[in-house]
Amino acid sequence: MQARHIAPVLTITLNPAIDLELSVPAWNPKQVMRAIQSRRSAGGKGLNVARVLTTLGIPAVAACVVGDLEGEIFIGLARHEKFQIAPLRIKGPTRTNLTISATGKPLCKINQPGPKMGASEWRQIKSELAALMPGRSWVVITGAPPPGLKASAYAELTRLAHTANARVALDCGGPVLRHALQACPDLIKPNRSELAETVGRSLTNRSSILKAIRELQARGARQLIVTNGPRAVYGLSETPKDIFMLHPPRVKASGVVGAGDAFLAGLIAGLTKKDVLRKCLNLALACGVATSTLPDPLFPKKLEIERWLGMINGSNQSECGRDNKTFHFHG
């Protein structure tokens, strides 16, 4: 009998959402506004990562915690995806995140907190996730946990994944990341605001970001990548323990959603193929930049990612010097 193929990447989204976008002809909060168009989709950072991984030819399974009638609607919206959805059911209803836009530009975004997860439900979710982890190369845990979970939740999942011999990537910040560091995740990728929340202070310039990276290194971070919008990408390489800074190509951004998720997907795709870090980062940059040039909530096709990758690979990527083990790449 032929062995069942196991997708190398499992993404975990504990608090996904139905993304509802309403388009109005003009913004006037003092009057009743009538939507001229509406769109619903299954949303969540783990789903975004799985979308881009699938585009890159890396099979992925997206585990999502869903509940009640809204959870069934979420599953229905996700059925058209090219990757497998693994629904994990609880009692509380899946949240809805609302975006109101006019003339194609988002004007207002309101996110619900999500369903509260009880202790018995969390034990069941952990058991179901543990059953999904064996055979994976990477387990990617993204976003903030839902209400009711302890800050140790991602540390618990990291240990479960390591028990299954899978590597773990975390895209989060704050208390859950501080606790997760104790479980030694293989890769963490916060953005600047999440890094600031983790260290408990504002990060206003390059030196403050580098200091925060070194602080997380001292706490046990193995490999760390920090995205800072279109300005720079900072990182800590696993071997050798160098801190680096990358300058993404300058582009006119059209969208604000999903670029960091696409970056992470490119990074995981390269690491899954066991590429060298620099090659992984180039692919990550190509995915992030390609996504930022598209209107929300679109993600790029493979040809568009390859076009940006070719430009990034062909750019002047020179090491400009080292001071205190910090070096720079220009793309």
CA distance 267 to 119: 34
**What are the pLDDT digits (tens) for 234-290?**
988 876 677 888 888 888 777 667 899 999 999 999 999 999 888 999 999 999 999
CA dihedral sign of residues 256, 189, 64, 66: negative
Indicate the domain borders of the chain.
Answer: 9-15+45-89+112-330
pLDDT in tens, 126-167: 999 999 999 999 999 999 999 999 999 999 999 999 999 999
DSSP class of 181: G
Q: What is the pTM of this model?
A: 0.91
The answer, yes or no, to whether residue 318 has pLDDT greater than 50, is no
10 Å CB burial of residue 236 (0-12, 13-18, 19+) is buried
Burial call 221-234: b when 16+ CB within 10 Å, e when fewer: bbbbbbbbbbebbb
pLDDT for the residue 185: 95
- Residues 6 or more apart whose CB falls under 8 angstroms from that of 324 comprise none
Nearest of 45, 59, 53 to residue 284 by alpha carbon:
53
pLDDT digits (tens, 9 = 90+) for 189-243: 999 999 999 999 999 999 999 999 989 988 988 899 999 887 889 988 876 677 8
Confidence category of residue 331, pLDDT binned at 50, 70, 90: very low
- CA 84 from chain centre, in angstroms, equals 17
Catalytic residue positions? 261
The amino acid present at 62, given as its one-letter code, is A
CATH 1.10.390.10 describes domain 9-15+45-89+112-330:
no
Are 69 and 95 contacting, i.e. CB atoms less than 8 angstroms apart?
A: no
pLDDT value of residue 313: 84
pLDDT 10s digits, 13-68: 999 999 999 999 988 888 898 999 999 999 999 999 999 999 999 999 999 999 99
Q: Under a CB-based contact definition with an 8 Å cutoff, are residues 257 and 297 in contact?
A: yes
With a cut of 70, say whether residue 324 has pLDDT above it: no
What are the structure tokens assigned to 128, written together?
């179901």
Question: What ranges make up the beta strands (E) of 3-83?
Answer: 9-13, 17-24, 37-43, 60-67
Q: What is the DSSP letter of 240?
A: S
Residue 240: its pLDDT value, please?
Answer: 61
Dihedral angle of Cα 115, 67, 98, 229, to the nearest 10 degrees? 80
